[in-house]
Structure 1
Amino acid sequence: MKNEIKVVELFAGVGGFRLGLEGWNGKSASSGYKKKMSSPFKIVWSNQWEPSTKTQHASLVYENRFGNKHHSNEDIAQVEVANIPDHDLLVGGFPCQDYSVATTLKNSKGLIGKKGVLWWSIHKILSEKETKPKYLFLENVDRLLISPSGQRGRDFAIILQSLNELGYIVEWRVVNAADYGMPQRRRRVFILAYLKGTEIYDNIKESNPIEWILEEGTFAEAFPVQTEYSLVPNEFELVGDIVSISENFNKKGSLGMFENSGIMIDGLVTTIKTKPYYDGNFTFLGDIIQNGEVTSEFYINNEDIDKWNYLKGAKKEMRKNAQGFEYHYSEGGMIFPDPLDKPSRTIITGEGGKSPSRFKHVIQTPKGFRRLSPVELERLNMFPDNHTQLEGVSDTKRAFFMGNALVVGVIERVGISLCSKIENGIIVQS
């Protein structure tokens, strides 16, 4: 193993970033935790806080798996930056919220957006740290690129300009895990940033932006893509500070300005639509199913099948709202039960519980129809079996964790590529 890469993990959940970067018990997620993984990544501090719950279940699961040393279970907005150790890489999956910027505070180093928006907690760390992290690796829902509806892409533009002002080059890629052989169709935007003075920063400055996006970049190595070279990339400059961008970015535009792949260098954005290129093996829902270990409470009673069929079926009917107003309601049907010969649909936070639902997964087995078990949901996100099992944590809560989690294999592949860019070793062996 080469030089250690010190990592701070924010919004840690139950540890998806950590599993992808460090592995579990020295094993690799992409191998089903069977092959050895030697990684330079080392989590030196982590934070998990859920403001809406009294009992911090996710943090308890995290501590149960990784220990409570250097782990913080307090509101990140209240954490003193001085208490966060210096680190090389900052990672986290921060929520997609309203990032609009309202004011400039006289006593702050920068511009502050709405209170409680977790992006500004990241911004605060980057602004106040005397030794800034060299790299950032962030995750969000892909609608970040087109939010809000009245100013398509404004929120992402604010983030890009924030990082530009702090001295970072930023690249991004929307990745659907199933496109690269993983067991779940989960589409997210991943963001990498490189601080001025790093070797990667210098290499990007010397590269052609399109070549970096398509062939040379960290994401291009981790997740190869193809594109129609006849397509002209969208190029534009981020104009003004983040307050100006908040007020004016794409104000009259009905379409988003950011494609699924792109890079921002010194405020100049280059973005192009790409398609995944993958010729490896695929993992399907049927490949991760438990055989014989699932208990009876996950099976659906015959008398409830009609309810499930109705909720998942196509509808075109009259409905009445709370005020008594009648309206036409329609929606398309969903495949029922879920096919075992394809990657699964995206896990949602409401996956748990016995009540019939349009969005919960249901499979057909020789014993009948049933919901997915917590272990199967963990496998769809490429977590170790029973990673979230802990006394006092219900199966419904475990399903909630997986609805909020990410696909660990995506993190692992980006970590391997990032290591190669900064000349560190990460080795997966049989």
Structure 2
Amino acid sequence: MKAMEKIFKSIDLFAGIGGIRLGFEKAFGSQIETVFVSEWDEFAQKTYKANFKDDFEIAGDITQIEENEVPEFDICLAGFPCQAFSLAGARKGFDDDYKGLCRGTLFLDVARICEKHTPKVIFCENVKGLVIHDKGRTLKIIKDTFTNLGYKVFTNQDTTLNSKNFGVPQNRERIYIVAFRDDIAPEKFEFPQGNDNTKKLCDIIEESSVSVKYYLSTTYLETLRRHKARHMAKGNGFGYEVRPLSGIAGAIVCGGMGRERNLIVDDRLTDFTPVTHIKGEVNREGIRKMTPREWARLQGFPDTYILPLADTHLYKQLGNSVTVPVISAIAEKIKEVLMNV
């Protein structure tokens, strides 16, 4: 088979809304084929299905999937849940129990599936807090697990990659793990650092005026200001933040919370009649939340990507997702290795 005819089969574990898959498909084009998807959240499944037309059903809880139920594959994509290792969370790591699931150990499901199928590459994404969690022991256990399975493990732990350098206006740092099977592993693997930090919020805001529902009420705005003032008086930095359109956003977070940390001023609204029940009236300063489509753009999702659900679900899903251009840039480097073996 000629190099250009190679087709790599991939599986998408903890798939979310398919951000990692999207990045790999952008890099590999027609040379990658997804053969299995696992995602336990029913709402994320709905968004995923709206955007990827597979001829198989999305599998649910990965802990309930036997290894032999997964078809053979070459590339494992796994954005295992970030909550267990997040700096914003309780940082319980391997002991973090949630709804009966031990999130901190879900990566072990990646390990057992890969032990059975011995793919060429395992790719994982997580929050930068993974590097320092439990004084580095958590990451060491993950790396050692893959090493013991016969993989050479590379991470960007010494140089956390930031989305703002990959053509999106978001300050988002993440850690990535790339494990190549020993028999095809390169001597070294260099993560891309990104070379486009030119994008600003003005580049991704909606082209026309948005619904009044995104604009804060005067009462809520005043509550945010008082809340921030109280925290500042105590020497804390917590509070809402209005981002200049000439700047970039802070990280949109797991779970979709904290939308008030990325407010913008948009003075295009002309009808201030509320469409939802609010206290007070719609503020006249033009202060509003960003829309889900704007969040999607912050993560580098193309405008062709369908956002089919209510805003609450979309904010959560996009906050939990990955920055597609970063994934694509890493996938390009992985492809270079695979095309030469």
* Structure 2 counterpart of 1:369: 287
SS of the residue 1:421 aligns to: helix
Give 1:171-320 correspondences, 5 Å limit: 171-173=154-156, 174-198=160-184, 201=185, 203-204=186-187, 212=188, 217-219=189-191, 222-223=192-193, 278=195, 280=196, 282-313=198-229, 315-316=231-232
Q: 1:99 deviation in Å? A: 3.0
**Structure 1 position 117 matched with structure 2 position 105:** yes
CA contact (8 A) 2:167 2:325 kept: no
Q: CA deviation at 1:420?
A: 1.4
Shift of 1:361: 1.8
Relative to structure 1, the CA distance from residue 389 to residue 333 in structure 2 (aligned partners, 3 Å threshold; closer, same or farther) is closer
1:45 aligns to 2:36 (yes or no): yes
| Pairing partner for 1:168 from 145, 151, 166 | 151
Q: Distance in 1 between matches of 2:67 and 2:238?
A: 49
Q: Report SS of the residue matched to 1:72.
A: coil
Deviation by residue 1:55-102 (Cα, 9 ceiling, x = unmatched): x100111112113523423210111111111111101111243337xx
Deviates more, 1:37-46 or 1:136-145: 37-46
2:119 is aligned with 1:133: yes
Map 1:57-72; keep pairs closer than 5 Å: 57-72=43-58
Q: Is the 8 A contact 2:94 2:103 kept in 1?
A: no
The answer as to 2:292 corresponding to 1:387 is no
AA aligned to 2:172 is R
1:352-373 C-alpha deviation (Å, 9 max, x unpaired): 6xxxx68442111113111111
1:159 corresponding residue in structure 2: 142
Change in CA separation of 1:85 and 1:388 when aligned onto 2, cut-off 3 Å: same
- Residue type of the partner of 1:362? L
Tell me how far 1:117 sits from its aligned partner.
2.5
CA distance in 2, matches of 1:309, 1:351: 21
The answer to whether residue 73 in structure 2 is matched with residue 87 in structure 1 is yes
Match of 2:281 in 1: none
**Is 1:73 aligned to residue 59 of structure 2?**
yes
Output the amino acid matched with 1:121.
Answer: D
**Which of 2, 13, 21 is equivalent to 1:10?**
13
What is the aligned-residue RMSD (CA, Å)?
2.5
- Aligned-partner residue type, residue 215 of structure 2: Y
What CA deviation, in whole Å up to 9, does each residue of 1:293-344 have, x standing for no partner? 4111001123332123233446255xxxxxxxxxxx5412667311211221
Q: 1:64 to 1:380 in 2, by over 3 A?
A: same
CA contact (8 A) 2:263 2:289 kept: yes
Contact 1:92 1:139 in 2 (8 A): yes
CA contact (8 A) 1:172 1:191 kept: yes
Is the contact made by 1:171 and 1:191 (CA closer than 8 Å) also made in structure 2?
Answer: yes
Q: Is the 8 A contact 2:168 2:297 kept in 1?
A: no
State how many pairs are aligned.
Answer: 303
Q: 1:179 deviation in Å?
A: 3.0
Q: What letter is aligned with 2:179?
A: A
What is the letter of the counterpart of residue 223 of structure 1? Q
Determine which structure has the larger helix proportion and give its number: 2
Residue type matched to 2:110 in 1? Answer: I
Structure 1: 5+ residue stretches without partners:
29-36, 51-55, 101-113, 205-211, 225-277, 318-328, 425-430
3-state SS of paired residue (2:168): coil
1:10 to 1:351, Cα distance in 2 relative to 1, 3 A: closer
State the SS of the aligned residue for 1:402: helix
CA apart distance, 1:351: 4.1
**Greater C-alpha radius of gyration:** 1
CA contact (8 A) 2:154 2:178 kept: yes
One-letter identity of the residue aligned with 1:4: I
